[in-house]
Amino acid sequence: MINKKKFDFVLAGYLIALIALGCIVIFSASTTTIGGYTNTQNYWWKQAIFAVISLLAVYLLLKIPMSIFELLIVPAYILNILALILVLFTPPVNGAHRWFSFLGINYQPSESAKLLTILVVARAISQDNMTEIKQIFIALGLTVLPALLILIEPDFGSTLVFFFSLLAMLIAAELPLYYILLLISPVISIITSFWWIAIIIWIIVLVYLLLRARLSWITISIASILNVFLALITPVFWNGLKDYQQQRILSFFNPMADPLGAGYQIIQAKIAVGSGSIFGKGWLEGTQKNMHFLPEHHTDFIFSVIGEEFGFIGSLVLLGLFFLFFHRLINDIGQIQVRERRIAAAGIFAYLLFQTFINIGMNIGLIPATGIPLPFISYGGSNLLFSTLAVGVVLKYLNERGLMK
């Protein structure tokens, strides 16, 4: 059966609205107003240029024949892995090796790696006659490679995006939920490891769920032993850290533990959002931004600028636009009938949703600062280009559905 082409103008409209809103907010974040003095940095017009380039890239993507697009996925992934290796040898910026710079243009290969890894994993695990175990190991292998290279940069936040997308793709591939449980169980064991009652309850729940799944006693025993081992070894590892190492980790989870150091950004972001009240301080009038108390206010903490200058109402408008965008995106995924494309679209949805949730969460103090930008809103050419292309891929899948499979 062949489906007719169907371009989703509504999803494209939400995408353009988010990008336009980002350019407007970046203009405010780039402008310092103190008394009669006003100075605007060039971030906003650079973002406007990035926006035009990103939308043109989506237009070109839609014009490329699907056969050529699919042919380019694996070579592009391999080249991206090489770029992630080469970037480790570039001069550090703020202690991290993340960017290639050429003629004033910065390229961050970790941003393209997110999208390309999703496309390659979807291709690999959608092959016919592949066992579930093989699906898991191949998906993990293709994901762990770029994730480890990005972790070395270091960029812990981007690494988390890979595994959240991976879980979404495995679920979309209709992998039994007990496999998903086995994959996330080590994380839960580490979290519960500092309270012995929580450890006991978790292991009992894990064994019960695996028994309900009718797994073999060998599988259940191995999973239980590994999780108990992780739960027991984590406190030993923690106690083996030096005091300053423990303090850094504690500050990551509790900013008030180091208010002038690791926790400074989140504290200032919370002050900015809270001071905006209902209607905000007004366009260009954010004091936390203007007095530069809020670091990185045009990138990772741009949501705080929205909260300070436009208040609860402005923040609600942005959240409402994101809600409409993601609601439309997930509805579109349900219309994609080719298995590989549906799995890839699920990974793209998870990748964008996770970044949105984490960024806004850290701006309001619910989540530790991880350096994850707000899709389409934060300043950054690489982030904007590949986030926009990710949506372009879904639009392409909808526009060229092809044969049911």
Read off the pLDDT of residues 308-343 as tens digits, 9 standing for 90 and up.
999 999 999 999 999 999 999 999 998 898 999 999
What is the predicted pLDDT for the residue at 392? 96
Q: How far apart are the two ends of the chain, measured CA to CA in Å?
A: 9
User: Hey, what are 209's tokens?
Assistant: 């769920």
Report the alpha-carbon angle 375-378-383, nearest 5: 55
**Res 238 pLDDT > 50:** yes
Helices (H) and strands (E) in the chain, counts: 15, 4
Residue 351 belongs to some domain of the structure: yes
What is the predicted pLDDT for the residue at 355? 95
Residue 405 belongs to some domain of the structure: no
CB of 389 within 8 A of CB of 347?
no
CB of 156 within 8 A of CB of 252?
no
Q: At what angle do helices 9-30 and 43-63 cross, to 10 degrees?
A: 160
Residue for token pair 């009038």: 285
Expressed as residue numbers, the domain containing 158 is 9-399
What is the predicted pLDDT for the residue at 109? 94
**Res 3 pLDDT > 60:** no
- Give the closest residue to 74 by CA, choosing from 126, 125, 116: 116
- In whole angstroms, give the CA distance from residue 140 to residue 146: 11
pLDDT digits (tens, 9 = 90+) for 132-157: 888 988 999 999 999 999 988 888 88
User: Hey, what are 10's tokens?
Assistant: 């509504």
- In whole angstroms, give the CA distance from residue 39 to residue 42: 10
Which residues make Cβ contacts (< 8 Å) with residue 151, sequence separation at least 6? Answer: 159
What confidence category does residue 404 fall into, taking pLDDT thresholds of 50, 70 and 90? very low
- Give the closest residue to 76 by CA, choosing from 105, 109, 107: 109
pTM of the model: 0.88
What confidence category does residue 402 fall into, taking pLDDT thresholds of 50, 70 and 90? very low
Residue 2 belongs to some domain of the structure: no
- Span of 121-125, 162-166, 228-232 with lowest mean pLDDT: 228-232
What is the predicted pLDDT for the residue at 403? 41
What confidence category does residue 179 fall into, taking pLDDT thresholds of 50, 70 and 90? confident
What domain count does the chain have? 1
What is the predicted pLDDT for the residue at 253? 66
- In whole angstroms, give the CA distance from residue 18 to residue 13: 9
- In whole angstroms, give the CA distance from residue 78 to residue 337: 27
Per the omega criterion (within 30 degrees of 0), is the bond before 91 cis? no
Q: Tell me what the mean pLDDT of segment 118-134 comes to.
A: 89
Read off the DSSP letter of residue 3.
P
Residues shown for the chain: 405
DSSP string, 156-194: HHHHHHHHHHHHHHHHHTT--HHHHHHHHHHHHHHHHTT
pLDDT digits (tens, 9 = 90+) for 47-96: 999 999 999 999 999 999 999 999 999 999 999 999 999 999 998 877 77
Residue 153 belongs to some domain of the structure: yes
CB of 379 within 8 A of CB of 302?
yes
Buried b / exposed e across 280-303, counting CB within 10 Å, b at 16+? bbeebebbbbbeebbebbbbbbbb
Residue 1 belongs to some domain of the structure: no
Phi first, then psi: give them for residue 39, nearest 5 degrees: -135, 130
**Res 171 pLDDT > 60:** yes
Strand blocks (E) in 42-177: 100-102, 105-107
Q: What percent of the chain has pLDDT over 70?
A: 92
Residue 404 belongs to some domain of the structure: no
pLDDT digits (tens, 9 = 90+) for 243-278: 755 665 666 666 666 666 667 777 888 888 888 888
**77 sits in which H/E element:** helix 66-86
Which residues make Cβ contacts (< 8 Å) with residue 326, sequence separation at least 6? Answer: 349, 352, 353, 356
What is the predicted pLDDT for the residue at 5? 59
Q: Tell me what the mean pLDDT of segment 297-307 comes to.
A: 87
CB of 268 within 8 A of CB of 260?
no
DSSP string, 302-367: HHHHHHHHHHHHHHHHHHHHHHHHHHHHHHHHTT--SHHHHHHHHHHHHHHHHHHHHHHHHHTTSS
Residue 388 belongs to some domain of the structure: yes
Query: Mean pLDDT score of the chain, rounded to an integer?
Result: 86
- In whole angstroms, give the CA distance from residue 113 to residue 183: 22
- In whole angstroms, give the CA distance from residue 275 to residue 312: 10
